[in-house]
Amino acid sequence: MLDFEFRDPWLLVGLLLLPLLLTLTVRRAESFVTYSTLDLIVGLPQTLRSRLAALPLVLMVLALTAMVVALAGPRTGDEETRVHREGIAIMMVADRSSSMDARDLVPDNRNINRLDVVQTLFNEFVLGADLDSPAEVSVNGNGRTDDAVGLVAFARYADGLCPLTLDHGNLAGIVSDLHIVTDRNEDGTALGEGLALAVERLREHPARSKVAILLTDGQNNIGDITPKQAAQLAAAQNVKVYCIGAGTKGVAPMPAQDRRGRTVLVRAEVNIDEKTLRMIAKETGGLYFRATDAENLASIYRRIDQLERTEITELHYLEYHEWYPAFAWVALGCMTCSALLGNTMLRRLP
C-alpha cells in the first residue's frame, strides 16, 4: 500500500473552495426558455444526451480537484539503509619457540601444550565459531568477518606465514599447521624481529585501523631488531599492539628425553619479559595481558575482540517518488474532455 504524503499539504485547503466555485458556476449557467405548454414532452423517456448533461461539469470538478492535489505535491517515500563496514587489519604474531611446548595452560591435561591452546583460540577469535578445544574453553565471539587478518610466527627467525587476508578459512588451515621448531639452530625468541615484520605487513595495508596481537612465553634473546625498536616502528605506523604473556608463573612442566629415550615432564623456569611487553603495549597505545591458563587466554581474546570492533556506519536516506505529474495529466484530460463535450454533443442551449 502506497504511503502518500504531500510536499505542501496546506494547498489542499483549496479543495474547500470547490463547492463554492461549483455553486457559483451552476447559478451562472442557469437560463430559462418560456414554452406555452410541456404536454408534448411529459412522459417521454430520457435520452442518453439528457442523462449525460451534467458530465462536463463533473469532469471540470474532477479536473480542479486533481489540479489542487498536484499543486500540493503528492509523493511516496522509499526509505533505504546502506551499511558501510570498515574492517580492521589485524596481524597475529605468535611465538613458536621450543618453550611453547610447555604443558601448563591446561593443568588437567599434560598432553596439551601452549601452542595447541593458542591455535584453537586464535581460530575461534577469527572465525567466530566454537571449535573443538582440547582445553574445553572458547572465545565465543562473533568472528572477524570484515577484518583482514594475517599471521607472523617467530622463533630464531620471523616468518610471514599468511598475508593479511579475508580468506579466514585458508588462514585457519595455516594456523592449524603451525608447529613448534624442533631444530636447535632455529630455536630462540626473536620477539623484535617478529613484531617488526608484522608492522611492515600492516604498513602496506590500506585499513585505517591496524592492530598487532603479539603472543610470547619468553623474552627476546636474538635478532637484529630490538623490541624497543620494533615498538617505535609500530608507533610510527599507528599500529596498536596488544601483548600477551602466556604461561604460569614460576615453573612449568616441560617435556624432555630421559636417559632411556623416554619423554618425561620436567620442571622448567618460566621467564616472561613482562617489562618489555608492557613497554611495547604502552608505546603503541595497546594493552598487556598475562595468561596463566587456557581460560585466561580465552578471556583475553574476548577482551580484545570487544576492544577492536569493525566500524559499522548505517546510512539512512529517503528517496521520494513524485506523483504530481500523474494528477496534472488527469486534470488536463478532464478539462479537455469537459470542454469537448460541453461544446459538441452535450452542448447546452441557450
Q: Which of 119, 121, 167 is nearest to 145 (CA)?
A: 167
pLDDT at 199 (0 to 100): 95
How far is the C-alpha of 19 from the C-alpha of 267, rounded, in Å?
Answer: 102
Asked if 93 and 75 sit in the same domain, the reply is no
pTM value is 0.64
Q: Which of 152, 94, 149, 160 is nearest to 127 (CA)?
A: 149
Looking at the structure of the chain, the number of domains it has is 2
pLDDT at 36 (0 to 100): 62
40 lies in some domain: no
pLDDT tens by residue, the chain, 350 residues:
456 778 888 888 878 877 777 776 666 555 556 666 666 666 666 666 666 667 777 788 888 888 888 888 888 766 665 555 667 889 999 999 999 998 888 888 888 899 999 998 998 888 876 655 555 555 666 678 888 899 999 999 999 999 999 888 899 999 999 999 988 899 999 999 999 999 999 998 888 889 999 999 888 988 899 999 999 999 999 999 999 999 888 888 888 877 777 877 788 887 888 999 999 999 999 999 999 888 888 888 888 888 876 654 555 556 677 888 888 898 888 888 878 877 777 666 55
Q: Which of 127, 155, 153 is nearest to 142 (CA)?
A: 127
Helix (H, G, I), strand (E, B) or coil at 230: helix
Asked if 73 and 143 sit in the same domain, the reply is no
347 lies in some domain: no
213 lies in some domain: yes
Handedness of CA 174, 203, 93, 242 (dihedral sign): negative
Q: Which of 14, 25, 23, 27 is nearest to 64 (CA)?
A: 14
Asked if 241 and 323 sit in the same domain, the reply is no
pLDDT at 59 (0 to 100): 81
Pairing outcome for strands 74-86 and 4-6 = antiparallel
How far is the C-alpha of 202 from the C-alpha of 150, rounded, in Å?
Answer: 9
Helix (H, G, I), strand (E, B) or coil at 66: helix
Asked if 70 and 108 sit in the same domain, the reply is no
CB neighbourhood size of 88 (10 A): 20
Asked if 58 and 95 sit in the same domain, the reply is no
User: Contact, 227 vs 110, CB < 8 A?
Assistant: no
Contacts of 272 (CB under 8 A, 6+ apart): 216, 217, 218, 219, 245, 246, 247, 290
Asked if 69 and 202 sit in the same domain, the reply is no
**DSSP designation for 271:** -
pLDDT at 100 (0 to 100): 92
- CB-based burial, 11-44: b 16+ in 10 Å, e otherwise: eeebeeeeeeeeeeeeeeeeeeeeeeeeeeeeee
Asked if 123 and 192 sit in the same domain, the reply is yes
349 lies in some domain: no
For residue 127, the enclosing domain spans 88-309
- Give 19-22's long-range contacts (Cβ < 8 A, gap of 24+): 21/64, 22/57, 22/61
Asked if 184 and 290 sit in the same domain, the reply is yes
177 lies in some domain: yes
169 lies in some domain: yes
pLDDT at 1 (0 to 100): 45
CATH code, domain with 280: 3.40.50.410
User: Contact, 85 vs 311, CB < 8 A?
Assistant: yes
Asked if 324 and 301 sit in the same domain, the reply is no
How far is the C-alpha of 188 from the C-alpha of 256, rounded, in Å?
Answer: 17
pLDDT at 208 (0 to 100): 84
Asked if 57 and 113 sit in the same domain, the reply is no
How far is the C-alpha of 111 from the C-alpha of 311, rounded, in Å?
Answer: 40
Strand order in the sheet with 311-322: 4-6, 74-86, 311-322
Asked if 194 and 338 sit in the same domain, the reply is no
Asked if 127 and 245 sit in the same domain, the reply is yes
348 lies in some domain: no
How far is the C-alpha of 103 from the C-alpha of 99, rounded, in Å?
Answer: 10
How far is the C-alpha of 148 from the C-alpha of 163, rounded, in Å?
Answer: 9
CB neighbourhood size of 219 (10 A): 17
338 lies in some domain: yes
